[in-house]
Structure 1
Amino acid sequence: MGAIKSKVGEWASRFPEIKETGTQANPGVRLELAGVDVDSVIANANVNNNPGNRKALLKRLLAEEIGFQLNEDKLGSGELTLVWRGSNRVLEVVVGKIADRDDLGDHDLEPTDKSLWRLVISLPYHDGEFGSIEDANRMLELRGLHGERPRTVAWIPAHLSAARYQDFQRLVVISYALADPRRFETQYASHLNADNRARAKALLEGQLESLTRTIKAVLKQAYGLAEKKPTDVEIGHEEHFVSLRDVPALKPPVGQPLREAARHVADKVLASQFPAHPDLDPDRTGVAVRPADVRAVFTCVRAATEASDRRVEVPAKERVLMRNIAAPLRLGTQKEAYFELSLHWRDHFLRQAKDAGATGDLSVTQLTEWLDKPERMGLEPHVANLVIASYAEMDDRVWVRSGALLDPPPELAQIKSWDALRTQPLPDESVWEQAQQRYEEIFGEKAPTLRRGRIVSQFARQILGQARNYQPHATDLVRELEKHAGLLALDDVDDSGRLALARRSLALLDALLATDKGAANSNAAAKQTVTALATFDLGSAPAARYGVSIVQAQKVAAALAGAAWDMLRLASGYGPEGEAVLDTLRGVARVDQRTASLPDALDAARKAIVSVMERSRAAVHPPVPTPPKPKPDPGSVDLTTESSHPPVPDAPAKPAGRRSTRRSGGGRTTAAQAVAELHAELNELAATEPNATIEISWRVVED
């Protein structure tokens, strides 16, 4: 059956009237007698059978079969993109006659990008004096030259037999004849009437399809992927690959299509270039590792470095990633549910640094070079960044850029080649614990627990943020307390008093801010900030009292700034009641805010002194009673009115609701007392009748 089908295919490629039908399992043949002179059309179009068109058609056929992208801007070159071991890779592809220096110069046999491989595919037919042997000899000649050899591999085919080469040329003619409908109508088939032109075109389209299948099948034989038949290709050529660099086991994968064969070649040459590259696609999905994948892996790796036993439970959806990416990269081992961290890269980089005599910061450029020792891995940048960032967590290092601390650390995609990793000095365990406790008691927020370089920097940033937030309010509080220290009788000697505690709180915040180096933060600055919080002398007052003083500084300072000091200064002039108001206020002002609220005491004192003033004024100026009207008797009623109803006295008016606020005032008093009394009376009037119109007058009475 196979021989018959092959023979029918051969006939169909030569005679347009013969059509292949059926399926692969049940083939058939059909004969169409159209009575159209197709050969005359082909003869007219034979002008297209030239070396340039033959090469162009072969390139298109190879591009379709191999799956590489033709770049028309570059003569004869293209790009084969593929996923190799989970990484995106590119091979440059050139199609031409290797032995013909006019077709492919020496520069055409070298990759444009020296880090890439170039696959040079020679032509499988004679277009002059050069054959497969001459192709191989030229590559061997280049291989023998001194100096660094380029990454170039040649794919040298056996040449087509005379019959198949004739089929190929016929395919070229038909392909170009049908490619331009206008020329087909006006030049190649112009001698035919409209009906015959249509029939000729249909016959040629059928033959084009049949010839294309035939030539593609023959190309597999020519390039060493199928058993060679003398009727199709020249026998004797078996060395199909010649590489200018040593590539082990580089042989055609017999039985594979051209697409898979090209990727087989890519696998061999890339494996020779990057022998240590891990297989990050063990399931052969053909999907490269994405930036989102490395972010997910890094999250799990970081969590493992922060765990006391260096293991962490991985969410179910991330376990395949950890097994396919983290494990091959030797970041750790993914068990059924847990990921166990490996310290391979910490030990590797420390060993490389020791061998290189490197001290201090380790740059990303340096670490990337060390990734390729002892053998090259050739990781993509985002995967290499994953390994380097994981090492930073393993060795507890912080990120710096141009000498300045990067806090927070950069995202994997934001890592620059000039970034570096620096050892972070850590505070002592006792200092760390003391700073944690004080932070929580003073600022009322949870402190981090792990004593690691990155977290120490994070904690220092939190401390400085709180200090910057509260320091202006603490400054205002000290200023207001000192401004009114005399009236409030504050004791600046008593360490437990409000004023002393406010000053110490401000000193604490200033001490913390003094450790802030800003953008030029040194590697010891974070440790200094944490240590400053832990070792600051709090005196006899516990941290919680400092916390209340600091956190409520804004509220207390605002209350002091808005208090009725003009009234309170007159309190002593109102005798024991006024002194009692001041004593109560002074008692609250002396103690710290945690013991008693000064804003509440100031408000209560204002109300109390107003009451004292009102009582004092009432005692000095008692109200003058209004004389009652005489009650009418029977003799006082006039009965001589025109009305028959004598006037009846009005019933006593019901007392109207009394106003609680005085609506008038006056009298003699001293100027000092008048200010306070008038202030209190007008405050109450404004509160109850804000729109009332009043009249104010006063004069000095000389005694």
Structure 2
Amino acid sequence: MATLLKDVIAIPEELSANDFVLKLSDGVSAVKATLASYVVTPQLASSFDEALSYIKGALEKGRSDAAFLHGSFGSGKSHFMSVLHAVLRHDPDARGLRGLEGVLAKHDAWLAGRKILCLTYHLIGASSVEEAVLGGYVEQVRRLHPDAALPEVHSTDSLFADADNLRFRLGDEAFFTGLGSGANPGWGALATGWDADSYVRARQAEVGDTERGRLVSALVDAYFRSYTRGAAYLSLDEGLEVVSAHARQLGYDCVVLFLDELVLWLASRTSDSAFVGKEGSKVAKLVESAAAHRAVPLVSFVARQRDLRDFLGANVPGAEKYAIGETFRWWEDRFNKITLQDRNLPLIVERRLLAPLPGAEGALEAAFAKVTREPKVWNVLLEGLDESSDAAAFRRTYPFSPALVSTMVALSSLLQRERTALRTMAELLRRGRGELTVDDIIPVGDIYDVLMDSGVVPLTDEMKQHFANARTLYEEKLLPRLLDRHRLATADDAKDLPRTHPFVTDARLVKTALLAALAPNVPALRTLTAQKLAALNHGTIATPLKGMEAQRVLALFRDLAASGVSEIHLTDEPANPLITIQLAGVDYESVLDRVSNQDTKGERRRLLRELIFDSLGVSGAGADTLGGGYSHSFVWRGSRRVVDIVYGNIRNAEELPDSALLADGDRWKIVIDFPFDEAGHGPNDDIARFENLERDGVRSRTVAWVPAFFTEAREKDLGELVCLRYLLASDDRYEQNASNLSIQDRATAKALLKNRKATLEDKLRQVIQQAYGAAKREPADIDGARGHSSFFAALDPQITLPGAPVGARLADCLAHLLDQMLSAQYPDHPKFPGEVRKSDANIVLQYLDAAAAEESGRVPVAAKDREVLGRVANPLGVGERLENAFLFSPDTFPWRKHFTQLAAQEGLNETIGVSRLIEWLDRPHPRGLDAHTRGLVIAAFALMQDREWYHNGSGPVARPPLDRIDGGYELRLPRLPGDPDWRRAVDRAAKIFGVHVTALKSAANVGRLAGKVRAEAHELQTAARELVTVLTAHREMLGLAQDTGRLATARDAASLVGNLAEEGDATGLAELLARAPMGATEEVLGRSLKSARDVVAALEGTDWDLLDAIGTMSGDQQATAILERLREAARRNEFQEALGPVLSETRRRARMLLASRVPDPSPGPGPDKTGGGTSPVGGSGGTAGSTSGSRNGQGAGSVSVRGARIDEAVQKLRAFASQHPDAEITITWSVRK
């Protein structure tokens, strides 16, 4: 048995309210006890150094200063100030603190001989900053210096008025006698008696006058001693100036103000934003003063656990929140900051709470070494105060984890100061004193009861509401359900249960989630999952097998959420969802009650059908009518199939007549029953109907799926979900039914109702899994008393149904059932690993075509096609995909033997009808191939057998698309060209048309060659004909021969492509191509065809008039040479020399020649007796004329011709114009008879 923790460390049996909680004034008055328990960590020593440095700086500069002492609740701010107070008073015990020696040695030089007035302030309960600071100064000085005159920090008008009234009632003699007795000896020689004259002089003196101050002090001491607690004060600025002067009179060098709980005091009044703004703005006066110089500097240390802006709730308007924020930013700019870090806490906890008892020093060390280092647990336990949370920090606080410590610190910051982290940790130890062992890690969930049982009030109204909501939610909703879960009658029955009881464990887990709702920013409580909840409460969850803790936690919260606790929300992740609790406190149930009339039998059935079909993976079923059929498409063994699904009450023949149960031909039908029925009926009644139909001889491909029935509680949940779906279907409907709530509460209630809806949907989906056999039945969900003999019944005796659904989820069960049904129908269907689409089959067909064209039957496989070929071809038996190749041969195509044997049995050889092949596909057992896979097998057979396709007796025709191969087609052995013709056709196709096929002579290859050549011929024949036409038209100019050269080749090419384009028979085309006469080689003919379009364009673009012009220049050697060069090229085939470039060169040389032959211009002839004239080009002409150049002198000339030869002049004129297309030409002529 493990050692009890109380035998290792000192655990008190009782704790007082003040244990581990220190008011600053208490720490100063009980300084020895404070110093005796104080632990100086390295970080705290550094903070003391900072604080002393600020005081030193203020003394040296003679200027006031201030610093925030920042730290979380329980970080020791009050203790820090108490120790600093003692240090400044040169307390020997303070100077003896271990860890503080170096700091004191550093500052002793300036501390020696300094007289520092240390004042402590506890602001809770003060009505103003002035009352706290100025009144506190007076009270403390009165105790420290009872004989000294008090400072005048009050507004004395009311004091003097009260004194005048008292003088009137008592009379002068009695009044001044009493006033004289109240003279304070602190005024020294001035402390003389009073009379009417001295009283009036002092009363009328200015504020700050010595005589006036003496009078105020005398009045207070003699008659108005309570005045310092109730009178009005000077402004803080004026009062601090008086305080500074007064402290100097008392002989002090500096005043240090320790302001404990200033921020907490303001935070407690955040509901009064005007008060916070007014009082908060005064704090800066601790540093700044309207006076140029204070008599002695004031140094203030202000304890602060949080920025005051963090306390401002949603009730503070934005403008006010901004204004208050600006005030505190003003503080930040003027105050220094000393941070007491939370990482001090592990060392403090170790020394103050966990110090081992004598003889037990190694027990905690040994226990800590046994803590699991499994990351899922260890990392959560280390989620502490900051990044420094590590194994060393955990060791210091063991059995408290860093996660628990950080949670306590965060929660303490939300509460009044009495609930510090140390106090809470001590209480946890005390409560577990009788049960905790040295091996136990304190679970985080235990914090909840310590907080709630303490009665501590949260700081803000907002947090008060959160805590109240948490308490209400636990006591009114969660606790009753936990008691029911563990069969406990009342909460009293659970009070004395041991820590290890399952109820206590579940309650602890729920309380951990509630803590996360109260303090969501704690690192350890963020993103709370079942795994994290288990880790935070490590060692407290009992499970049959190690590692199942998270599943147990998840089951708990799912059950609670499903039981109606809408405040619990789980995200959609199935394995490890986020778990949150919303602390709303809104009456959302009243909204749901308003739509309770929507819960009808019909709506329950419709909703359940939707949930069932969704669980089955049957999409689109929501629009179906009750009792109607729905066609569900799915993939079975790689082929897409359809099954009809009917949803209804099988027992009820009126709702589902026999006709609704019968399948449509060979297509299967599944009839799914409800998981409930009217009283007196159960699932066996539905099974009985099918058994009766089968007994009556009814045969159909129909299967009934009969579920177990819901419990009454789950049926109620179904009805509630009907109402929730109706309510939340539209915003308008929700607003109409939530009108009884405030606008803010409506939004909260809507979120809770949505959460409830999601939870119920999830729960009912789980129950559906149970009812239909996919999950273990839970007694709370499934009514075992209604009877349930079988899940399935069938009207087809061929099918063997499983005794129960097979699958992890309902969709898997449906898939297994469909497989059973179709396997009985099509036992020999190939087992494709994935769906075979038309595109997949076509890819395989491309490789079959390519392989069939190779003598080896082997082709390489592209990387992108490897998966498809392996997935389709191999299982179907239409070739085999190897590592990097595809092989199509008799050995890899077993269908060849299958079909040829059956054909031989029926005496079929030359012609085999596709209808027979389709029938043979289902021998010896049905395969049920779909259209494109069936077509792929038949197409592969045609390739392997080298058969041609015929349709309805005519052909051959092109192979149809795979999914259109039907019984109207037949496959015939082909007529093929002879070997010589085939070889020549293959050669000519490649050389003339660039069409390449393998040398393998087969129907497919012949058809492939014919198809490609025919397409090329169609493409080329128009240009080929045009080339012959243009060459013939200019044969004389080009000097072309009829039987040889370019023109003869063009005629042969045009004739060839014309004949090929018209030939419809593949073999005939191959023979025609092989036997066609050619006057030129295939390469020459091919070049003629492929260049015909370009050559025609070049010929049609030639300036034939220009060529005619130089053709008339007989005897001109240059003209003759130009034309001869052209004719030489034209006679040659295009393969020898391209004609287009030669035509261009001829045109250029002809133009240059004509331009050079135009004679120099001569004076134009004058008018003669026969008449004449001049005209620009285009005017009416005569019988002879002359041409002259443009005005810019580009050229001029003249020519004389007979009328019959006028064309020669025109030719020359045109040649000139072609050389000068932009010139303006003037024509003159004269006529001689």
Structures share fold, TM-score greater than 0.5 = yes
2:866 to 306, 309, 319: 319
The answer for the alignment partner of 2:672 in structure 1 is 121
Say if 2:792 and 2:803, in contact at 8 Å, map to a contact too.
Answer: yes
Q: Specify which of 641, 648, 651 is matched with residue 96 of structure 1.
A: 648
1:457 is the counterpart of 2:1010: yes
Q: Report the counterpart of residue 25 of structure 1 in structure 2.
A: 552
Q: Give the alignment partner of residue 1078 of structure 2, picking from 530, 538, 544.
A: 538
Identify the residue that residue 789 of structure 2 maps to in structure 1. 238
Deviations 1:223-246, CA, capped at 9 Å, x for gaps: 596579799414875343221112
In structure 2, distance between residues paired with 1:12 and 1:206: 20
**Cα distance 1:16–1:324, how it changes in 2: closer, same or farther (>3 A)?**
farther
Equivalent of 1:512 in 1031, 1039, 1060: 1060
1:171 to 695, 717, 726: 717
Amino acid at match of 1:97: N
Q: Counterpart of 2:791 in structure 1: which amino acid?
A: H
Note if 1:679 corresponds to 2:1211.
yes
Q: Which amino acid aligns with 1:312?
A: V
**Greater shift in the superposed pair: 300-309 or 558-567:** 558-567
Deviation at 1:358, TM superposition (A): 7.7
TM-score by length of 1: 0.68
Structure 1 residue 66 corresponds to structure 2 residue 616: yes
Q: Equivalent residues in 2 for 1:489-568 (5 A)?
A: 492=1042, 495-496=1043-1044, 500-515=1048-1063, 521=1064, 525-539=1065-1079, 541-547=1080-1086, 550=1089, 551-552=1091-1092, 554=1096, 558=1100, 562=1104, 566-567=1108-1109
Q: Within 5 Å, which residues of 2 pair with 1:411-490?
A: 420=969, 425-442=975-992, 445-449=994-998, 452-477=1005-1030, 479-480=1032-1033, 484=1036
Return the letter of the residue paired with 1:86.
Answer: G
CA contact (8 A) 1:326 1:333 kept: yes
CA distance in 2, matches of 1:581, 1:214: 99
- CA shift for structure 1 position 275: 1.7
Instruction: Give distance in 2, aligned partners of 1:219 and 1:606.
Output: 92
For residue 137 of structure 1, report the CA deviation from its aligned partner.
Answer: 3.3
CA RMSD of aligned residues (A): 5.8
Aligned residue identity for 1:240: F
Contact 1:476 1:554 in 2 (8 A): no
- What displacement does 1:527 show? 2.7
- Counterpart in 1 of 2:185? none
- The question of whether the paired residues in 2 share the 8 Å contact of 1:155 and 1:240 is answered with yes
Query: How many aligned positions are there?
Result: 622
CA contact (8 A) 2:599 2:720 kept: no
Please tell me whether the aligned partners of residues 225 and 252 of structure 1 are also in contact (alpha carbons under 8 angstroms). no
- Letter aligned with residue 166 of structure 1: E
Task: Write the letter of the residue equivalent to 2:883.
Answer: E
Q: Distance in 2 between matches of 1:152 and 1:388?
A: 32
Q: Deviations over 1:376-412 (max 9, x none)?
A: 33344444454455445444566788968877x7776
Cα gap change, 1:434 to 1:14, in 2 (>3 Å):
farther
Preserved contact between residue 1106 and residue 1215 of structure 2 (Cα < 8 Å): no
Question: What amino acid does structure 1 have at the position aligned with 2:1067?
Answer: K
Alpha-carbon distance in structure 2 between the residues aligned to 1:532 and 1:685: 53
Match of 2:1198 among 626, 643, 665: 665
User: Residues 218-617 of structure 1: matches in 2 within 5 Å?
Assistant: 220=770, 223=773, 226=776, 232-234=783-785, 237-245=788-796, 246-253=798-805, 256-281=808-833, 288-341=835-888, 342-348=892-898, 370-396=920-946, 420=969, 425-442=975-992, 445-449=994-998, 452-477=1005-1030, 479-480=1032-1033, 484=1036, 492=1042, 495-496=1043-1044, 500-515=1048-1063, 521=1064, 525-539=1065-1079, 541-547=1080-1086, 550=1089, 551-552=1091-1092, 554=1096, 558=1100, 562=1104, 566-567=1108-1109, 570=1112, 574=1115, 600=1142
Kept in 1: contact 2:1155–2:1216 (CA 8 A): no
User: Deviations along 1:156-191, whole A, 9 cap, x unmatched?
Assistant: 345x5xxx643344334444454555999999999x
Amino acid at match of 2:1081: P
Identity of paired residues, percent? 25
User: Which residue is equivalent to 1:628?
Assistant: none
In structure 1, how many angstroms separate the alpha carbons of the residues matched to 2:1220 and 2:755?
103
User: 2: CA distance between counterparts of 1:666 and 1:37?
Assistant: 118
- The AA in structure 1 aligned to 2:880 is T
Q: Deviations over 1:33-84 (max 9, x none)?
A: 9999999999999977765455445535533543434344322344555432
Query: Does structure 1 residue 86 correspond to structure 2 residue 634?
Result: no
Residues 525-556 of structure 1 show CA distances to partners (whole Å, capped at 9, x for unaligned) of 233233222211225x4344444555456268
Contact 1:226 1:254 in 2 (8 A): no
Q: TM-score, normalised by structure 2?
A: 0.42
Q: Is the 8 A contact 2:675 2:771 kept in 1?
A: no
Greater RCO (Cα-Cα under 8 Å, separation 6 or more)? 1
DSSP-derived class of the 1:83 partner: strand
Q: 1:139 and 1:357, CA in 2 relative to 1: closer, same or farther beyond 3 A?
A: farther
Partner of 1:110: 662
Deviation at 1:678, TM superposition (A): 5.5
Cα deviation for residue 109 of structure 1 reads 0.8
TM-fit CA distance, 1:568:
6.8
Inter-partner Cα distance in structure 1 for 2:884 and 2:1211: 76
Q: Distance in 2 between matches of 1:241 and 1:80?
A: 19
The alignment partner of 1:538 has SS state of coil
SS at match of 1:24: helix
Offset at residue 416 of structure 1 (A):
7.2
2:858·2:887 contact (CA, 8 Å) conserved in 1? yes
Write out per-residue CA displacement over residues 610-664 of structure 1, whole angstroms, 9 at most, x where no aligned residue: 979998x99xx9999xxxxxxxxxxxxxxxxxxxxxxxxxxxxxxxxxx999623
Match of 1:141 among 688, 692, 703: 692
- Secondary structure of residue in 2 paired with 1:328: helix
* Shift in Å, 1:247: 0.7
Distance 1:16 1:61 in 2: 36
- Seen in structure 2, the aligned counterparts of structure 1 residues 453 and 375 have a Cα distance that, compared at 3 Å, is farther
Superposed displacement of residue 86, structure 1: 2.6
Q: Which runs of 5+ in 2 are unaligned?
A: 1-479, 492-502, 510-549, 568-584, 1164-1191
- In structure 2, relative to structure 1, the CA distance for the partners of 1:78 and 1:449 (3 Å cut) is closer
Rounded Cα–Cα distance in structure 2 between residues aligned with 1:65 and 1:699: 110
CA distance in 2, matches of 1:685, 1:38: 100
C-alpha change, 1:316 and 1:456, in structure 2 (3 Å) is closer
Bigger CA radius of gyration: 2
Q: Say if 1:590 and 1:123 are closer, same or farther in 2 by CA, change over 3 A.
A: closer
* Rounded Cα–Cα distance in structure 1 between residues aligned with 2:1144 and 2:945: 56
Return 5+ residue gaps in structure 1 as ranges: 1-6, 282-286, 516-520, 625-658
Contact 1:93 1:120 in 2 (8 A): yes
Per the alignment, residue 275 of structure 2 pairs with none
Q: Do the aligned partners of 2:870 and 2:881 also contact (CA within 8 Å) in 1? A: yes
Q: Describe the SS at the equivalent of 1:91.
A: strand
